[in-house]
Amino acid sequence: MTKKQAEKRIIDLRKQTEYYASKYYDDDAPEISDFEYDMLMLELRNLEAQYPEFINKDSLTQKVGGHVKEGFEKVEHEVPLQSLLDIFNFEDLYAFDERTRKVAEESNIDLKYVVETKIDGLSVSLEYKNGEFVRGATRGNGLVGEDITDNLKTIPHIPQKLTENVDIIVRGEVFISKEGFEKLNEEREILEEPLFANARNAAAGSLRQLDSSETAKRPLDIYIFNVQKSDTIDFKSHYESLLYLEKLGFNVNPVKILCNNVKEAIKAINKIGDDRESLSFGIDGAVIKVDDLHLREILGTTYKTPKWAIAYKYPPEKKETKLKDIICQVGRTGVITPMAILEPVKVAGSTISKTTLHNEDFIKEKDLMIGDTVVIQKAGDVIPEVVEVVKEKRDGTQIPFSMPNKCPVCGADAIREEGEAAIRCIGIECQAKLFRSIWHFASREAMNIRGLGYSIIEELLNRGLIKNIADLYSLKLEDVKTLKKDGTKFAQNLIDAINESKQNDLYRLINALGIRHVGVKGAKSLAKEFKTMDNLMEATYAELMEVNDTGEITAQAIYEFFEQEQTKDLIQKLKDANVNMEAQVGENEDNRFEGMTFVLTGALEEYTRDEAGEIIENFGGKVSSSVSKKTTYVVAGEDAGSKLDKANQLGVQVIDEQKFKEMIS
């Protein structure tokens, strides 16, 4: 490579790493794997070492990735929260040891290391005054972070008061456990929200919520791994400080191995690698730290990284195995996912016998056939993936695979819409998606069955008390009260709410059916146009196309939904249960709020936000969750917060509840 080529490649690598770092740190939405990013950074670091004249302060080799998110107060770290230099082989670790040991011998200090798991989460600092938690911040760019004190207070393992009245700043890693991450994504799938790519970004996104009540809903945890500053205690060694932090009440990283030399450190790294599958939390490597704190001071730091610590990244492992079969699984939202059934093979410490093939496009892109020899890769705690087919090992016995056009669980039509990669079952009674169907049916904007929440639906299904949506209307008081201790009052309230839902307007029932692309607004348009469920079920594609806000894709989805035998069966069961099938059309077609956008904030005395929102929509208005220059009115109740401030900044008209009542009277 010529000098000019090297300069061009360095500029290109800086652009790439800056972009991917921004997606990772700032947007919590990574676009490439950690390993791919690490390899780009390694190439950049090596080129800059070879051509130091091209190094500048804007390179990510010279600074920490991440910026302060708008909406948070800035915090200047008293002690910088630096990142670590990554290595990928033991030769580099021996080189690190040689440099460190030379300084230790010159300083007459006994060199020991502490090896810890490199937890895959978001780094934070916690500040305590006189034993009281006073402030917490993200790492940010290492020098300046975000004040997220209120969010950190929602994490149970962060002590608000220490066992001793000390002044101390500590550093830790906020994370979501493997089990917590799976459950979080499962809930997001039910809500049809985008799934988190990995636990690290789920933790980061949760911790950087502007509303701490949202953070409190996420299963966040923390491990403390370093004393940043202590005004009251003079520690001699890092290991000693970790033991003291445990005494203070901190949740300290449970994997901390004291090593007498580099060979013991390598054994510790290998042990962590062997054990990482059994850890309850995700890791992206192991950290090797000098134990003696005075030696750390002598070794010092660069602008970006300490010279007394280094991070070993476990290389991805690849193995060949046989693709024995491809089966299809149906998720809770009806998405049909192809799964590879593999000849069991051990990769990166775990035995892999199956893995996702994502969708039809992935299979075509990889040119996968049943019976192929394939290469499986697993890096750290990442889900194993099929990397490629070993085509030279094909012998003519391989069988092409096609995605089904019927659901493998219930036999209903499986549809792939234009522009989407996923194939979905549209059967309303499909057992695979039954939980999600019931959850949506009972939700506030649908049938609004109060008390029928996530855990209650799970219990009803687990006990066999309901087997389809219509079974809700056959529940008995005696059955429901067994779901809770002393549950008679709860059971009566739930039965009453179920019975009340029978009288709902037709649009609520249409929305409750969960037809693809049909929300509250679309359901209201359909109810207004067709007046009865029977009319809607008999509507032709052409008639559906005539409805306001109904395009080709939506009309096709509605038509196909009502063509299904499962849909017809459920509607008949709901009719038998005396659920209303007609629109409650009033004489007055009042669109006084047409073209207006309202934002509701704070607590109203006479209305819930849902009730106020429904009134606005009935008058032709729109309700938004955020304030912008396009907002017509902000309706401010008690304890109105940041939305009121934003309205005042933008000059948006703010009205109180009394004025709102006058407008709707």
Tell me the CATH number for domain 317-393. Answer: 2.40.50.140
- In the predicted structure, residue 585 carries a pLDDT above the cut 70: no
- In the predicted structure, residue 482 carries a pLDDT above the cut 60: yes
Structural contact between residues 637 and 605, judged by C-beta atoms closer than 8 angstroms? yes
Alpha helix stretches (DSSP H) within 119-237: 149-152, 178-190, 199-207, 212-215
Neighbours of 377 (CB within 10 A): 19
Q: Do domains 317-393 and 597-664 have the same CATH topology?
A: no
418/416 Cα distance (integer angstroms): 7
Tens digit of each residue's pLDDT (9 = 90 or more) over 282-293: 888 999 999 999
- In the predicted structure, residue 26 carries a pLDDT above the cut 80: no
Q: Which fold has domain 426-576?
A: DNA polymerase; domain 1 (1.10.150)
Structural contact between residues 323 and 340, judged by C-beta atoms closer than 8 angstroms? yes
Tens digit of each residue's pLDDT (9 = 90 or more) over 339-364: 999 999 988 767 889 999 999 999 99
Structural contact between residues 41 and 32, judged by C-beta atoms closer than 8 angstroms? no
Tens digit of each residue's pLDDT (9 = 90 or more) over 610-664: 788 888 988 888 888 889 989 999 999 887 878 888 899 999 999 999 999 999 8
CATH architecture of 74-312: 2-Layer Sandwich (3.30)
155/173 Cα distance (integer angstroms): 12
The encoded tokens of residue 120 equal: 């895959």
Confidence of residue 237 (pLDDT cuts 50, 70, 90): very high
Neighbours of 467 (CB within 10 A): 12
Confidence of residue 442 (pLDDT cuts 50, 70, 90): very high
Q: What is the pLDDT of residue 187?
A: 83
- In the predicted structure, residue 185 carries a pLDDT above the cut 60: yes
Pick the CATH number of 3-54 from 3.30.70.2170, 3.20.20.140, 2.60.40.420, 1.10.287.610: 1.10.287.610
Average pLDDT, the chain: 89
Helix (H, G, I), strand (E, B) or coil at 32: coil
pTM higher than 0.85: no
| Lowest-pLDDT choice from 144-148, 378-382, 422-426, 475-479 | 378-382
Which residues lie across from 119 on neighbouring strands? 283
The encoded tokens of residue 299 equal: 């070794």
Residues 321-326, mean pLDDT to the nearest whole number? 96
CATH architecture of 597-664: 3-Layer(aba) Sandwich (3.40)
Q: Tell me the domain boundaries of the chain.
A: 3-54, 74-312, 317-393, 426-576, 597-664
Q: What is the pLDDT of residue 189?
A: 79
Confidence of residue 380 (pLDDT cuts 50, 70, 90): low
* CB-count exposure of residue 158 (10 Å: 0-12, 13-18, 19+): buried
- Give 472's DSSP letter: G
Q: What is the pLDDT of residue 496?
A: 95
Catalytic residue among 118, 256, 433, 643: 118
- In the predicted structure, residue 390 carries a pLDDT above the cut 90: yes
118 is an active site residue? yes
Q: What is the pLDDT of residue 587?
A: 45
